[in-house]
């Protein structure tokens, strides 16, 4: 049986999944809690990595080295960056990259890639899970997700990121997860639901929609697990 690693940056992003999980063991490694058990008959390692790229990368490497996961699904919330993306929409990553690392550096330094591609099978599974979602009003998109060490809540920064990367959304962990998964040859996909528009109103919107958006994303993951 495959071992599926599932990650969120904050407790609210994995709460629904933990509530649905039959936990057989709980281990703390390097400060991260790893819940070991089953969801929908699948062997799962569920963890909360904390906010930011270094936390996400460290937690991902432990998932791979210590628990031998066969694939990684990252679930959570994000700021919308695309004109067609609305609050509470779901974004499935076709690829991920950093918005705070120069493109030249990405291409000229190991691992010599400007972005990291999501796994085609996991992407297809996620898209099908969106179609099966009980919420008929839920919109979903396939597109680029960018990450950086800041909560984007400024119109000027948003404009700069959009012009340079043409992403669907922005967050703080996905590219690091994809980076580590890629260099370890572990399939991954990033799933995010929009809590705000990464603009001057982002903080107010985030506080209103963070829980709803976190559950939207987690429900897609649950649908994926049901169809595996």
Strands 169-171 and 22-29, sheet pairing: unpaired
**Collapsed DSSP state (helix, strand, coil) of residue 121:** helix
Tell me which of 13, 94, 119, 210 is the catalytic residue.
Answer: 13
User: In angstroms, rounded to a whole number, what is the distance separating the alpha carbons of residues 28 and 173?
Assistant: 20
To the query of whether residue 196 is one of the catalytic residues in this protein, the response is yes
Residue 124 a catalytic site member: no
**Per annotation, catalytic residue among 119, 173, 196, 199:** 196
Q: Which residues pair with 171 in a beta bridge?
A: 147
Strands 42-48 vs 3-8: parallel, antiparallel or unpaired: parallel
The SS3 assignment for 95 reads strand
Closest CA to 212 of 195, 190, 224, 196: 195
Distance (Å, whole) CA 142 – CA 124 = 10
List the beta strands (DSSP E) in 148-216: 169-171, 188-196
Question: If DSSP codes are grouped into helix, strand and coil, which group holds residue 71?
Answer: strand
Active site residues: 13, 196
């Amino acid at each position: 049986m495959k071992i599926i690693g599932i990650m969120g940056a904050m407790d609210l992003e994995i709460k629904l999944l933990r509530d649905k999980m039959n936990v057989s063991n709980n281990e703390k490694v390097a400060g991260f809690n790893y819940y070991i058990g089953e969801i929908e008959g699948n062997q799962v390692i569920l963890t909360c990595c904390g906010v930011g790229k270094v936390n996400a990368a460290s937690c991902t490497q432990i998932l791979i080295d210590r628990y031998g996961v066969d694939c990684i699904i990252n679930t959570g919330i994000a700021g919308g960056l695309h004109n067609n993306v609305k609050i509470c929409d779901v974004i499935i990553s076709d690829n991920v990259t950093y918005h705070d690392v120069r493109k030249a550096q990405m291409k000229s330094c190991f691992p010599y890639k400007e972005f990291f591609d999501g796994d085609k099978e996991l992407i297809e599974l996620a898209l099908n899970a969106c179609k099966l979602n009980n919420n008929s009003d839920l919109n979903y998109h396939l597109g680029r997700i960018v990450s950086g060490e800041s909560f984007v809540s400024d119109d000027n920064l948003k404009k700069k990121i959009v012009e340079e990367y043409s992403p669907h959304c922005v967050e703080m962990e996905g590219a690091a997860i994809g980076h580590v998964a890629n260099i370890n040859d572990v399939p991954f996909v990033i799933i995010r639901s929009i809590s705000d528009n990464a603009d001057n109103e982002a903080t107010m919107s985030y506080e209103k929609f963070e829980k709803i958006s976190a559950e939207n994303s987690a429900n897609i993951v649950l649908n994926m697990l049901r169809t595996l």
